[in-house]
A and B are shown apart, each in its own frame.
Chain A
């Protein structure tokens, strides 16, 4: 089944697909996830601290961002906003949508984690004279992020794959590149399996990083060995 021609196509395209993976997929994921984390922490804290008005804004944002398809959000921003005279380049549009979408999911993870930190931690912090925000920053949030870490890593891994949707708004990431190559040589099965394997490779690395970091994060939670 695998003849010489196919093998050559697979090998040649490997680098052609990997390159936009390293140059676009990974940076796009990293930058979007970075902004998503900021959005998530702020949105979670606004709800946790029950800040008037803003908590409702936060709920509304999460409701919309989680309740509509990622692909629809990409289309609204990239193809829809120009109708209002707002032109966004493909990569910024992708970063905007991925950050907001991921931020909503991660906000829920962070909020649940904040709620999982025992209330006594905040009380003890207030009793030694620290302000709400000081206790938050020094005691509650670090513990919450540790609780949240496995779920957040999960979201990050999901996001690596979701960036393939950006091919629909003309971003030349791995999926787009693969489609271009396949449309020329017509080897759809081989090439789509190949790009799938490259995604798998990326996610495998992230999974390894996740377990290594989890080991480090756990050091104060365990009894001495």
Chain B
């Protein structure tokens, strides 16, 4: 469904992505792991053109695009098939939860308002927030805001959803509610590309894992094999550090 070849991106002198190849099939839940600064988030932002890539080819649904030269129309067309969930939610602060979900439908897709509201309510119900539809983001907890953001992402029925560290800004006791929504999306066959630090999610919910370091993909494979038999030394070191860190702090919860 999505195939990426040779994605490169530099910020000034700093080469953040050094040629990324990636393939995502329909129904895949791909977790992207790696330290801060490894380029995970930039990869995701380039995929949705929030950052301009320096080089790379993106194939989506059989169409190919040169990522360094792609035009506005193609970007809009591709974005219509995708959705993005941000680390800090980025809900529209001047809109209620329901309006956050319906805004794109009504304004971008010119959907009649009553139909958009119907979809919006269904999406909020899907993330368990039916009783919060008239709340503004500032009146919601971080976990609730992120669930509204997921509802907003689902509203357009995207072919793939990009998640950029969706639980990193949350208090530990709030990550569970977001992860369980994401798990249910995975179970219903949604295609997801998730940058995350949640090892439980990467191991048990995603079916594929990509490990990145210094702008390169070091290791990629199905979740079980990456976690149980990492082939690369750098992956082993990363996983060992993460688990040591978890053990010294708190046990990983079964959810995340």
Determine the chain B residues whose CB is within 8 A of the CB of A130 once the complex forms.
Answer: 103-104, 107-108
Evaluate whether A127 and B138 lie within 8 angstroms (CB atoms) in the complex, with A220-B93, A220-B94 already known.
no
Say yes or no: A146 contacts B94, CB within 8 Å. Answer: yes
Say yes or no: A139 contacts B94, CB within 8 Å. Answer: yes
Determine the chain A residues whose CB is within 8 A of the CB of B86 once the complex forms.
Answer: 120, 123-124
Evaluate whether A126 and B107 lie within 8 angstroms (CB atoms) in the complex, with A120-B88, A220-B93, A220-B138 already known.
no
User: Interface residues of B, CB < 8 Å — how many?
Assistant: 29
Q: CA separation between A143 and B94, bound complex, in Å?
A: 7
Say yes or no: B139 contacts A224, CB within 8 Å. Answer: yes
The answer, yes or no, to whether B80 is at the interface (CB within 8 Å) is yes
Say yes or no: B107 contacts A134, CB within 8 Å. Answer: yes
Say yes or no: A128 contacts B156, CB within 8 Å. Answer: yes
Say yes or no: A223 contacts B95, CB within 8 Å. Answer: no
Evaluate whether A128 and B139 lie within 8 angstroms (CB atoms) in the complex, with A123-B86, A221-B93 already known.
no
The answer, yes or no, to whether B50 is at the interface (CB within 8 Å) is yes
Say yes or no: A223 contacts B139, CB within 8 Å. Answer: yes
* Nearest-Cβ distance from residue B119 to partner chain A, whole angstroms: 13
The answer, yes or no, to whether A69 is at the interface (CB within 8 Å) is no
B90-122 contacts to A (CB < 8 Å)? 90-96, 103-104, 107-109
The answer, yes or no, to whether A215 is at the interface (CB within 8 Å) is no
The answer, yes or no, to whether B136 is at the interface (CB within 8 Å) is yes
The answer, yes or no, to whether B83 is at the interface (CB within 8 Å) is yes
Say yes or no: A127 contacts B83, CB within 8 Å. Answer: yes
Say yes or no: A129 contacts B156, CB within 8 Å. Answer: yes
Determine the chain A residues whose CB is within 8 A of the CB of B92 once the complex forms.
Answer: 121, 124-125, 138-139
The answer, yes or no, to whether B48 is at the interface (CB within 8 Å) is yes
Evaluate whether A124 and B139 lie within 8 angstroms (CB atoms) in the complex, with A129-B79, A129-B108 already known.
no
Q: Which residue of chain B lies nearest to A143 when distances are taken between CB atoms in the complex?
A: B94
Say yes or no: A123 contacts B90, CB within 8 Å. Answer: yes
Say yes or no: B104 contacts A128, CB within 8 Å. Answer: yes
Contact with A along B66-101 (1 / 0, CB 8 A): 000000000010011011101010111111100000
Q: Which residue of chain A lies nearest to B95 when distances are taken between CB atoms in the complex?
A: A139
Q: Which residue of chain A lies nearest to B81 when distances are taken between CB atoms in the complex?
A: A129
Q: CA separation between A125 and B88, bound complex, in Å?
A: 14
* Nearest-Cβ distance from residue B8 to partner chain A, whole angstroms: 22
Which among B50, B84, B94, B95 has the highest number of chain A CB atoms within 10 Å? B94
User: Interface residues of A, CB < 8 Å — how many?
Assistant: 23
Q: Which residue of chain B lies nearest to A129 when distances are taken between CB atoms in the complex?
A: B108
Q: CA separation between A131 and B107, bound complex, in Å?
A: 9
Q: CA separation between A124 and B85, bound complex, in Å?
A: 8
The answer, yes or no, to whether A82 is at the interface (CB within 8 Å) is no
Determine the chain B residues whose CB is within 8 A of the CB of A128 once the complex forms.
Answer: 83, 103-104, 108, 152, 155-156
Say yes or no: A223 contacts B138, CB within 8 Å. Answer: yes
Q: CA separation between A222 and B136, bound complex, in Å?
A: 9
Contact with A along B118-157 (1 / 0, CB 8 A): 0000000000000000001011000000000100100110
Determine the chain B residues whose CB is within 8 A of the CB of A129 once the complex forms.
Answer: 76, 79-80, 104, 108-109, 156
* Nearest-Cβ distance from residue B109 to partner chain A, whole angstroms: 7
Q: CA separation between A201 and B65, bound complex, in Å?
A: 64
Q: Which residue of chain A lies nearest to B49 when distances are taken between CB atoms in the complex?
A: A126
Which among A131, A134, A138, A142 has the highest number of chain B CB atoms within 10 Å? A138
Q: Which residue of chain A lies nearest to B84 when distances are taken between CB atoms in the complex?
A: A127
Say yes or no: A127 contacts B108, CB within 8 Å. Answer: no
* Nearest-Cβ distance from residue B32 to partner chain A, whole angstroms: 18
Determine the chain A residues whose CB is within 8 A of the CB of B79 once the complex forms.
Answer: 126-127, 129
The answer, yes or no, to whether A27 is at the interface (CB within 8 Å) is no
Evaluate whether A121 and B90 lie within 8 angstroms (CB atoms) in the complex, with A129-B79, A138-B103 already known.
yes
* Nearest-Cβ distance from residue B89 to partner chain A, whole angstroms: 8
* Nearest-Cβ distance from residue A72 to partner chain B, whole angstroms: 40
Say yes or no: B107 contacts A127, CB within 8 Å. Answer: no
A119-175 contacts to B (CB < 8 Å)? 120-121, 123-131, 134, 138-139, 142-143, 146
The answer, yes or no, to whether A80 is at the interface (CB within 8 Å) is no
Say yes or no: A138 contacts B107, CB within 8 Å. Answer: yes
The answer, yes or no, to whether A118 is at the interface (CB within 8 Å) is yes
Given A125-B103, A129-B79, A129-B104, 6 additional A-B pairs, CB 8 A? A121-B93, A124-B86, A125-B104, A139-B94, A143-B93, A222-B138
Q: Could you show 7 A-B contacts with beta carbons less than 8 Å apart?
A: A120-B88, A121-B93, A130-B107, A134-B107, A138-B107, A146-B94, A222-B138
Q: Which 3 A-B pairs have the closest CB atoms?
A: A128-B104, A129-B108, A120-B90
